[in-house]
Amino acid sequence: MNTTQAIRSGTAGMMILLAGGCGGSHHGPAPDDPATIEQGKQTFRFDTFGDEAQWTDTLRMHEVIPAAVDPVTALSVGLKVDAEALPASVVKGIQDGSVDLKSPATTVALIKLNAVVGLVGKVETVGGKDTLTRVGVTCALCHSTVDDSFAPGIGKRLDGWANRDLNPGAIIALSPAVDAALKQVYNSWGKGKYDPRFNLDGKNGPQVIPPAYGLKGIHRITSTGDGDDIAYWNRYVAVTQMGGLGSFSDSRTGVSVTHGSTDLVGPKLPALQAYQLSLAAPAAPAGSFDAPAAARGKLLFSGRAQCMSCHSGAEFTDANLRLHPVSDVVSEPEPGGAPSYASRSATKQYRTAPLRGLWQHAPYFHNGSAATLQDVVTTYNTRKSLGLSAAEMADLAEYLKSI
């Protein structure tokens, strides 16, 4: 039996077990069972799914970090530090300057403490010295940030909040295994963006890292609605992007990837999905918008601006009913002459974006082509010939800030 067959039959076996175990009624843990959610949280934050094969064996990041990535550099490429993982002595050392933030050895020490959000490393004593021997990445790398309560980039974890400071392309480009032509592509992406299809189709069109919160009840996942549930995309990213051990295939795109002979991804997907579904979009902070203007904007949203014809229902999306052809969508053509992102996807269409928590995650649209909510409104006004006045556009933007 080859690797693919082994994994497929393993998965099939599991499906049979699950089906048999359920027997039509629901004996298994419910998706909102607290223990399942807690398990999913651990997976989201700390599970590499065995992707050290990619980040260590192939990309050799375990050599790059101790050679070149001191904490100041790490923070400058958007990596975040979990203040709650720091012992009091380290907190004091950062405060009084005795912990050297210009030394890569400090980064290794932080990884050893499991304090760098989204990085998981193995630190062993080699020749009497702490040495990073393996490193991998987790979902939290891109989909968590921190509240900066200790210092910029250092604070309590905020899971599900997209890390828009993170520059994944610049990080990957540090690898000695990446050639000059590829480095140029990776370095072109910039902060808060990542192209989750480039390594498969060779086309360059980076996507804004989206929030992983506020997705409960939405059955079209990703900006192009490729999957019916979060687990579809989690399997895709874990295997084809992070390099985790397991299998993903989709006949619509022709993507078929298997890593290793043990499935470290599939069995974790139900709990991982349950955790993400438990993450609500954060409410707009009090005082962050002008309430009377937002109230006027709300009337425009449902009225003359016709936003609700697509952004309908509790999550402000018609995603469960339909997707939209590129011709209906105001965010194409792509910036910089990039190929249509929809054309690279399984559906070739776009999902109406859910709008809760908008205040938190500028820039907007799948490609980040609108820097602010004001820009979003201006784009709609022009492209859809809405005829809104400047004051009306300002009101509508104020409403979007409040959602």
Site residues for ligand HEC per CB under 6 A: 44, 137, 139, 141-143, 168, 194, 196, 207, 209-210, 212, 215, 221-224, 230, 233-234, 237-238, 242, 272, 276, 305-307, 309-311, 324, 328-329, 331, 350, 352-353, 355, 358, 364-366, 376-377, 380, 396, 400
Closer to ligand HEC by Cβ: residue 149 or 309 = 309
Closest by CA position to 62, among listed 6, 146, 137: 137
DSSP letter for 318, please. -
Closer to ligand HEC by Cβ: residue 92 or 322 = 322
Shortest approach of ligand HEC to residue 111 CB, angstroms?
Answer: 17
DSSP letter for 278, please. T
Distance CA 83, CA 85 (A): 5
Residue identified by tokens 């607290």 is: 34
Q: Cβ(41)–Cβ(272) under 8 Å?
A: no
Shortest approach of ligand HEC to residue 27 CB, angstroms?
Answer: 26
Closer to ligand HEC by Cβ: residue 99 or 396 = 396
Closer to ligand HEC by Cβ: residue 105 or 255 = 255
Closer to ligand HEC by Cβ: residue 173 or 272 = 272
Closer to ligand HEC by Cβ: residue 150 or 365 = 365
Q: Cβ(379)–Cβ(335) under 8 Å?
A: no
Distance CA 182, CA 367 (A): 20
The amino acid occupying position 26 is H
Residues 6+ apart with CB under 8 A from 42: none
Shortest approach of ligand HEC to residue 218 CB, angstroms?
Answer: 7
Rg (alpha carbons) of the chain, rounded to whole number: 22
Shortest approach of ligand HEC to residue 313 CB, angstroms?
Answer: 13
The amino acid occupying position 287 is G
Q: Cβ(190)–Cβ(206) under 8 Å?
A: yes
Shortest approach of ligand HEC to residue 345 CB, angstroms?
Answer: 7
Shortest approach of ligand HEC to residue 24 CB, angstroms?
Answer: 29
